[in-house]
A and B are shown apart, each in its own frame.
Chain A
Amino acid sequence: EVQLVESGGGLIQPGGSLRLSCAASGFSVSSNHISWVRQAPGKGLEWVSVIYSSGGTFYADSVRGRFTISRDNSKNTLYLQMNSLRAEDTALYYCAKIDYGEDYWGQGTLVTVSS
């Protein structure tokens, strides 16, 4: 069974850093495209980043240069390193396996950027 479990969210001050993790089971992160998607409270979905099975990465303009997506194949885990955090990064962050017609989402981890 495919499962995605996010962790690492919390309250962080503006300008701070946080690393989110997404532990995968039922498939190999190294062989799949996996995205991060976020949703600010009461707002719409925002695509953040994707890592391809090839290792290629892409980012939304709003996070490019501040966020880095990566994976640890030995731990079967995806990461999102978030630096220079801003209030507008406050959101529920989902990891999602949604390419090629798949549809697997984690439960999300909440990031709150506030002083």
Chain B
Amino acid sequence: QAVVTQEPSLTVSPGGTVTLTCGSSTGAVTSGHYPYWFQQKPGQAPRTLIFDTTNKHSWTPARFSGSLLGGKAALTLSGAQPEDEAEYYCLLSYSGVRVFGGGTKLTVL
């Protein structure tokens, strides 16, 4: 089974920009992996921010965007807010089998 890798932790200043990445042990991440990004805050169920690489939900703040960058899936946060402090998980699909990354703990400080 593939291993999906994320930065364990990142820190961003309020108003700053940060990019979280999601890599695959099998090689470059492509749109065919249908990358998802989830946000999870303590005590809550996860919530989808981005699906199928770049698509946002109605509740996804405009400051979040998804892309493919350097062979990885990427989640960019532009203009970080204190409420963006959370755990972020990517999910990749491998012909039906899905694999989560280990998560990135994002601190806004």
Interfacial residues, chain A to chain B (CB-CB below 8 A): 35, 37, 44-47, 50, 52, 56, 58-61, 94, 98, 101, 103, 105-108
Residues of A within 8 A of B103 (CB): 44-45
Tally B residues with Cβ within 8 Å of A: 23
Given contacts A58-B97, A103-B48, A105-B45, are A47 and B1 in contact (CB under 8 A)?
A: no
B98 touches A101 (CB 8 A): no
Contact indicator A58/B96 (Cβ below 8 Å): yes
Given A45-B40, A45-B46, A108-B45, CB of A103 within 8 Å of CB of B99: no
State the B residues within 8 Å of A (CB).
1, 36, 38, 40, 45-48, 51-52, 55, 57, 87, 89, 91, 96-103
Give CA–CA (A103, B39) in the complex, Å: 12
What is the CA–CA distance of A18 and B101 in the complex, to the nearest angstrom? 27
A101 touches B55 (CB 8 A): yes
Residue pair A47, B98 in contact (C-beta under 8 Å): yes
Give Cα A107–Cα B38 distance, bound, in whole angstroms.
16
Q: Which of B40, B48, B87, B99 has the most CB of A within 10 A?
A: B48
Given A37-B46, A44-B87, 5 more contacts at CB 8 Å? A45-B89, A47-B99, A58-B96, A94-B45, A108-B45
